[in-house]
Chain A
Amino acid sequence: MDKILKIITFSVRELGEILLFIINSIVGFFLCQKRFSKIIISSYEIGFRCLFIILVIGLFTGMVMGLQMYYTLIKFGAESALGTAISLSIIRELGPVLSALMIVGQSGSAICSEIGIQRNDEQIDALETMGIGSRSFLAGPRLLAGFICFPILTAIFDLIGLWGGYFSGSILMGLDAAIYWNKVFSSVQFIDVLGGFIKSFIFGVFTIGICCYEGYYSHIKSSYPGIRGVSQAATRAVVKSSIFILVFDYLITSFLL
């Protein structure tokens, strides 16, 4: 019992620290120079580089859901509900969650280790001695790029996922295409789409925040400072981000429903 309490207080404190880190970075960033081009570079890093994996994962998620749902629904003679099932589960849940997990795996770990190595190489100290706010310089543009790119990638994931469902359910299994798309269009409400986007906004800022935070403090948070510490920090960043995504997905869903 004591241990559980300890874990809870530790997580709450950690979350608070990360939130303060995020706020400090973003507020400081608005005093930085050349903000626009920094956001562009970070958006390339977080957004465009993840486009390919989002397309592949989205397509195959939709396809496998098409197959599974079709076989389940046909037992009840309700295969016409395939479009509803796929579109709602992708747009509400799988889109934001899976794309956030993918972006963390692809970009978040890279960001964390890059900042961790910069910490290790004293580049962060160098920034501070030059009078440059290191948090806003390193984390600020990435946080804003996360805020921009997560919803974009989620939207792309959703659409490609719907096409994946169409491909397996309709083209391979033979459900009438009109029924599939008709169900997709008629069952999704704006509130579902909005819920998905709210999730991806929150995931975007917080997961990138966690990754930057872990990299930035890799020298004190790890048991061994140095290269080993950076690798530990990258692991922790991905694990914590994934836990954050799934826990907060549940919490946000329960508030939205």
Chain B
Amino acid sequence: MKKIEIIVGFFVLIGLVSIFYLSFRIGKSEFIGEKTYELNASFSNLSGVSANSRVEIAGVKVGSVKSIYLNDDFRAVARIEIPISLFLDDDTIALIKTSGLIGDRFIELLPGGSGIQLEPGDYITDTQPAIDLESLISKFSFGGLTDSK
């Protein structure tokens, strides 16, 4: 009887370690995460970015996209979550990037230096949509590049 208790105790211990490792390391649960604040960034095109997409600064993941909606001017607005310890100035640039040629899209932030801090809920005004690969290729192949000049 005593032996069974030790074995089961050991088993449950291994199980709990596995569950916590899965939830908090691999799953990155935010129960114990840092507090965050939200910023908005409006783009002319957000195709390929979705909720939970990464937000990076200089290639380091700093936050994620919380939700995406269309505003009254038919511009796509991404609500992004950023840790409270990270201060961004109001001339920060947000651009859509693609990891690899066909990889998933994420938002890259280029911090500015204006000295005026963005408050929670503020808009990042300076944005740049994703490079539309298809139109780029069509421009190349039909000579559209020279036309646009």
Question: Quick check: A184 and B26 within 8 Å, CB to CB?
Answer: yes
A212 within 8 A of B: no
The 10 residue pairs across chains A and B that have the minimum distance between CB atoms: A152-B15, A193-B27, A155-B18, A190-B27, A190-B29, A155-B19, A48-B11, A43-B8, A44-B4, A188-B26
Q: How far apart are A160's CB and chain B's nearest CB, in angstroms?
A: 9
* CB 8 Å contact bits of B91-113 with A (1 = contact, 0 = none): 00000000010100000000000
B16 interfacial by beta-carbon distance below 8 Å:
yes
Knowing A186-B61, A189-B28, A190-B30, the reply to whether A159 touches B8 (Cβ < 8 A) is no
Given contacts A78-B102, A152-B11, contact A41 B4 (CB under 8 A): yes
Give B residues with C-beta under 8 Å from A: 1, 4-5, 7-8, 11-12, 14-16, 18-19, 21-23, 25-30, 52, 54, 61, 100, 102
A-B contact pairs, 15 of them (CB 8 A): A37-B5, A40-B8, A43-B8, A44-B8, A48-B11, A155-B15, A155-B19, A158-B22, A159-B18, A159-B22, A190-B23, A190-B27, A190-B29, A193-B27, A193-B29
Assess the B4–A156 pair: CB atoms within 8 A. Answer: no
User: With A159-B18, A159-B22 given, is the CB distance from A44 to B27 under 8 Å?
Assistant: no
Among A188-207, those with CB < 8 Å from B are 188-190, 192-194, 197
Task: Say whether A193 contacts B23, CB under 8 Å.
Answer: yes
Given B12, B29, B52, B100, which contacts A148 in the complex, CB threshold below 8 Å?
B12
How many residues of chain A get a CB closer than 8 Å to chain B's CBs? 33
Residues in chain B near residue A40, CB distance under 8 A = 4-5, 8
A25-84 interface with B by 8 A CB criterion? 37, 40-41, 43-44, 47-48, 51, 76, 78, 80
Please give, as numbers and ranges, the residues of chain A lying within 8 Å of B54 by CB-CB distance: 186
Q: Which residues of B contact A186 (CB under 8 A)?
A: 54, 61
A185 with B23: CB separation less than 8 A: no
* A210 CB–B CB distance under 8 Å: no
User: In angstroms, how far is the closest chain B Cβ from the Cβ of A50?
Assistant: 10
A87 neighbours in B (Cβ, 8 Å): 26
A104 CA to B12 CA, complexed, in Å: 19
B12: which A residues are within 8 A, CB to CB? 43, 47, 148, 152
